Structure 1
Amino acid sequence: MTDQERAFAEVSGFSAALATIPSTGDLLQDLAQRSAAALAVRSTGVFLVREGELHPVGVLDGMAAELADVQAQERCGPCFEALRTVQPVTVPDLARDAARWPGYGERVLELGVAATASLPLHFNGEALGTLGLYHNAPRPWSATDLACVRVLIDMAVGYLAVAADRDRQRRVAEQLQHALDSRVVIEQAKGMLAAERRIPTGEAFELLRGYARHHRAKLRDTAEAVVDGGLRP
C-alpha cells in the first residue's frame, strides 16, 4: 500500500466511523489512531484546551501519555505554540531545535522523539486544542502530510460542531416539553380546586401560587401535590 492509499483509507474509515455517532472521547481517540496510521508515525495525542491548559483526551500509547505530562509540566512546546498561533508547527529534527523550547525539548528527546508536528483544532478562528504527531526518527513534514491530517481534524471538529448544535436543540426541546408538562399539571390542579371550591379558575391559580410562595416550593410541584397527593391549599 502506498502512502497515498494508506492516507485515503484512514480518511475513508474515519468518515464511516462518524456515521456511527461516536462519543466525543471515542471520536478523539479515533482521530489520534487514524492520524498515526495515515502518516505512519510513532505516536499521536489529541489535546483540548481548558482554562489555558492542554489536557489529553485521545492518546495513542504510553509515549503520548508521557509526552502529555511533559507538556503540562513545562507549559511550552509545539502544541502550545500551535494553540497560540492557530497554525501548524513542524519540527523535522528535534535535536537541532530542542533549544527552541527550554526544558521541553530535552525531555522529549529523552523519550525517543526525534521529530514532531502539532496542528490546531479550531472552529471559527478559535483554537479548541491541538493534535500532536511524534516520530522516533527525523522526518520532513510534507504539505501532503499536513493536508491529510488537516482533513481528519476538520472532519472531527465539524462533527463536534454539529453534535453540539444537536445537543443544544435537544436541550431546548426538553425545556419546552418540561414547560408544557408543567402547564398541563397546573391547569389540572386549577380545575380541581375551582370545581371543589366552586371558585373561578383565576382564584384557584392564586391559591396555588400563594401556597407555593409561602412554602418556597415550585409551582409545578405544588400542582402535582394537588393532583396526585391530595394537597388542598
Structure 2
Amino acid sequence: MMQLYYSPTSPFSRKVRVVLRELGLEKQVSEILIDPWTDAALREHNPLAKVPTLILEDGMAVFESAVICDYLDQLARSTGQSDGVIPQDGIDRLNALKWQGLADGMMTATGRLFADSKRAETDRSDFVMDRQATAVQSAIDAILEGLPQLRTEEPNLGTWSVLVGLYYIDFRWPDRRFDIPVRVRDWMAIMSERESLTETVFHLPHDNDQKSIA
C-alpha cells in the first residue's frame, strides 16, 4: 500500500487528499499525519522535508503536490479506476494546469503572509507582507473573472486546486481579511458538501489524524 505523509494545515496536502478521493484511490493509500518541522522520518524520504510526500509501494518517494497529482491521475486512468482529473490535451488541459498554478501561488502567498504575521514587528518586512497580500487578493480577483472556466459539473484539477486555495484563505484568516466576492462564495458552496472536501477540512493537528485509510 502507498503512504501519504501529510499535515492537516497544509493546503498542498489537502489538494492531494482531495484528488485521491475524486480519483477513487483513497483505499490504496495510507494517510499518515506528520509534523514536517520536527519529524526526522520525513527527511529520510524527502530531502526537502515537506508535505505532501507520497511513498510508492516500491519505496520510491514522490514529492511536490503537482507531481503527486499527475502521478495519481495517470495511475487511476491506467487501472480504469477513473477518467482522471487532468484533461489530456488541448485548451482544457492548459486551463486546468493554469488554474492549479494560480491556486498554488495563492496558497504559497497566504502561508507566507500568515507566517510573517506571527513574527515580531521588528522581524517583519512591510514590503514583503504587502506584496504577499496583493498576490492573494489579485488571485481572488482573477478567480472571480475566470469562474466560467471553473465548471462545477466537470471539476478538474484546476477546480479542486482553486477551491482548496480559497478555503485555505478562510482557515488562515477567519476574520475575512480578504474580500472573496459573493459570486465566488456561492460557487464554493455548490462544491462544499462533496465528500472529498468534507473529509479533508483544514484543522490543527489532533490524535484522530493518526488514523490511516486502509
Name the structure where strand makes up a greater proportion of residues: 1
TM-score range, shorter chain: under 0.3
Q: Which has the larger radius of gyration?
A: 1
Relative to the length of structure 1, the TM-score reads: 0.26
Higher relative contact order (CA 8 A, sep 6+): 2
Relative to the length of structure 2, the TM-score reads: 0.28
